[in-house]
């Protein structure tokens, strides 16, 4: 059985109409990936550990219990009695595209690296096969904690732990574009698998196309690169620089694209951690994302994707 540790933040989600009816649930890019990954992968094949910090309040406890029901191992979700989960609000346009408002400056996850028990978590990470994190996992941390996290990951990578990274770029979370580039440049040389979105890479590095992104990331030391391009498909490049394009299947009823990339990553990682070819992993990512975007919210009802546990495994 393989083991993956996913580092990040989960927040309280509100979605609906401005000054109208709002629906409360939860979400966050890495938690979305963890959730969909457990839903499409038998626990006998893969153990998914989530690493974060949450409050000790009732709502935090209820959120964690929901993750456990989905099969996520929460032993490394640290509890912070002084803080609680952050909050975000989603507003959708007629095409299902979303805008976000965040309240997270004092969230427990922002201070994960300062938790008294974090060293025990890092010691335990030597037992996993892969560590996955995103640009948001880094962006929410104070700057000195970003550096501390990357230092820990460098040590683990040298011990054979594979690092997977989605650059998921949210400009409002960073002090400056230059700081984003600095932090990503420090991390990317140890990344085995990059699962990036072209729009993000274009915004950060001014790439002209997906091939530019692949070339740059390979030059920075990344072994395998997947460039997501929404409905335009995905480009992938293996460690030997063999490249392929994997198209999407048309989706007619797009409701909410909130966690499309996160769902893609889950479908991809299911295949990747089972040793499937990169193009098959991308096909799985497209298939899962194509289902998720037909429903509202970051995390949809598990019945919608239940059949994929047989299809993918």
The catalytic residues are: 262
Among candidates 115, 102, 157, which has minimal Cα distance to 133?
Answer: 157
Q: Which long-range contacts (CB under 8 A, 24 or more apart) does 96-100 make?
A: 96/254, 96/255, 96/256, 96/257, 96/293, 97/257, 98/256, 98/257, 98/258
Give the orientation angle of helix 143-158 with respect to helix 177-187, to 10 degrees. 20
Handedness of CA 11, 264, 159, 238 (dihedral sign): negative
The helix (run of H) or strand (run of E) holding residue 267 is helix 260-272
What does the DSSP 8-state code read for residue 71?
T
- What is the token pair recorded at 271? 């295949």
Q: Give me the phi and psi of 225, to 5 degrees please.
A: -130, 130
């Amino acid at each position: 059985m393989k083991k993956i540790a996913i580092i990040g933040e989960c927040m309280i989600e509100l979605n609906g109409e401005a000054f109208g009816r709002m629906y409360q649930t939860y979400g966050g890019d890495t938690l979305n990936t963890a959730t969909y990954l457990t839903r499409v992968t038998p626990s006998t094949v893969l153990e998914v550990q989530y690493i974060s910090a949450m409050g000790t309040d009732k709502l935090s406890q209820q959120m964690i219990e929901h993750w456990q029901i989905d099969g996520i191992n929460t032993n490394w979700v640290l509890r912070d009695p002084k803080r609680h989960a952050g909050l975000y609000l989603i507003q959708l346009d007629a095409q299902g595209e979303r805008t976000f408002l965040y309240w997270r400056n004092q969230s427990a996850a922002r201070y994960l690296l300062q938790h008294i028990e974090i060293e025990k978590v890092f010691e335990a990470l030597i037992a996993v096969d892969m560590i996955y994190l995103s640009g948001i996992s880094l962006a929410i941390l104070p700057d000195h904690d970003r550096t501390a996290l990357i230092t820990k990951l460098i040590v683990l990578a040298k011990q054979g732990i594979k690092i997977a990274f989605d650059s998921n770029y949210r400009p409002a979370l960073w002090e400056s574009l230059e700081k984003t580039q600095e932090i990503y440049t420090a991390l990317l040389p140890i990344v085995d698998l990059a699962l990036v979105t072209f729009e993000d890479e274009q915004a950060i590095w001014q790439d002209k196309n997906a091939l530019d992104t692949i070339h740059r990331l390979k030059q920075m030391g990344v072994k395998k690169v997947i460039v997501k391009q929404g409905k335009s498909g995905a480009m992938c490049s293996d460690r030997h620089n063999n490249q392929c394009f994997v198209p999407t299947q048309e989706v007619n009823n797009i409701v909410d694209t909130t966690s499309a990339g996160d769902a893609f990553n889950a479908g991809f990682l299911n295949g990747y951690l089972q040793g499937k070819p990169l193009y098959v992993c991308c096909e799985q990512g497209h298939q899962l994302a194509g289902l998720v975007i037909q429903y509202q919210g970051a995390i949809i009802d598990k019945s919608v994707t239940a059949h994929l546990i047989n299809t993918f495994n």
